[in-house]
Amino acid sequence: MNKKGLDEMQLQRKYKIGNQGFVMLLYLLLLDTGLYGFGFRWISYPANVMIILTLCSGIYVVRLISGNAFVGPFAKNEKPVLKAVLTALCSVSVAAVIIVLLKNAGFSNAGQIDDMSAPILFITAATGLIIAAVTGVIKRKQNRDDGK
């Protein structure tokens, strides 16, 4: 048997969820394009694609975790608090550096960056937090069900 990664049922479930996620992504992007063609613009350009991508990837991750297809049978049962904090600090500092560099670079003006970057960052972070909360609830429910 495979000692690393997912087992065969988890792999099947993961592929199924992935396929459905890509189809959903395709349809949402087509819907967005179609609405734009009819003159309905629900949100301006970079944010709409960002929101659709975040939504689809978030649903994919939540479905993977709720379907028990995220962690394999031999995953170490560790508490990744320190790793999560370090990753968050690292990502925040990288994002800050990128924004500062883009603002100071000559090829783009500051107004363009300020236009959509704040809402995109806010929406992405908020969606990430919602996904983390939902996955936490799912894990707790699964552990409770296993205990019965």
Partner 1 sequence: MSKNLKLKSARAAKDMSQKDVANAVGVTRQTINAIENGDYNPSINLCIAICKALDKTLNDIFWEDDVNE
> Which residues of the chain form contacts with partner 1 (CB under 8 A)?
1-3, 7-10, 68, 72-74, 146
- Least spacing, CB of residue 60 vs partner 1, in Å: 19
Do 89 and 21 meet the contact criterion of CB atoms below 8 Å apart?
no
Cβ 132 to partner 1 shortest distance, Å: 22
Cβ proximity to partner 1: between 2 and 93 the closer is 2
Taking the complex as a whole, how short is the minimal distance between the CB of residue 59 and partner 1, in angstroms? 21
Measured from the CB atom, is 10 or 48 closer to partner 1?
10
Nearer to partner 1 (CB atom), residue 103 or residue 139:
139
Helix count (H) and strand count (E) of the chain?
A: 4, 0
CA atoms of 79 and 69, how far apart (whole Å): 19
66 or 124: whose CB is closer to partner 1?
Answer: 66
All residues at 6 or more sequence positions from 69 whose CB lies less than 8 Å from its CB, including other chains: 6, 10, 11, 13, 14, 17
Element (H, E) at 92: helix 81-104
Instruction: Tell me the closest approach of the beta carbon of residue 1 to partner 1, in angstroms.
Output: 3
